[in-house]
Chain A
Amino acid sequence: DAKTTQPPSMDCAEGRAANLPCNHSTISGNEYVYWYRQIHSQGPQYIIHGLKNNETNEMASLIITEDRKSSTLILPHATLRDTAVYYCIVRVAGQAGTALIFGKGTTLSVSS
């Protein structure tokens, strides 16, 4: 799977949008971009994934550049409960045995 690069930490004020970047310059055409987050001492939580189109769900929006070499996860109105480590992962979806390969992620701190 392609490697990803994320900033180690980011800060965000409560109520503002949090924009978390991810670089995946070696992504292959059949690889999806997945985002998970992990709140302290809990299991990772799935947020969103996409292939090449922008995606939105009740938690977040995912913006993927046209060349697919980078993406941004957007939390439109961050709350204190969004403080977590956010992981950007690329993988071939559905292929047997393709585990998620986690990096160190971005620690997002939301403050009031």
Chain B
Amino acid sequence: DTGVSQNPRHKITKRGQNVTFRCDPISEHNRLYWYRQTLGQGPEFLTYFQNEAQLEKSRLLSDRFSAERPKGSFSTLEIQRTEQGDSAMYLCASSLSPGFGTDTQYFGPGTRLTVL
């Protein structure tokens, strides 16, 4: 299967620790999105890359959150000094920019973060 993959699938950490999640998009997809989903809510957009450029990051929840996509392929999302309120599912999606269709986003399975 060549869908979007995310690692780890589950992460348990103690408050104050840093965590990093990885997303591998569908091969040749040039757009990559990060979302966060808390219990009972729909996913909430965080940030977006086109190739290696981070074109939208104003929705990142605080300066403790950062994301990279260094070579325009996989991406990482880091949360520094985690807080209990960061407990959520973190989702990654990828898409192909216009010219090949209507930019449909395909999601990975998510990383569930629990902060103790």
Contact = CB atoms under 8 A, between A and B. Distances in A.
Interface residues of B, number: 30
B56 interface: yes
Contact of B42 (A43, A46, A94, A105): A105
A14 B30 CA distance: 39
A43 B103 contact: no
Contacts of B112: 41
A103 interface: yes
Most interface-central of A85, A95, A98 (chain B CB within 10 A): A98
Nearest to B92: A43
Contacts of A49: 102, 104
Contact of B45 (A45, A85, A101, A104): A101
A106 to B, nearest CB: 11
Interface of B: 4, 6, 33, 35, 40-45, 48, 50, 55-56, 59, 89, 91, 93, 97-98, 102-110, 112
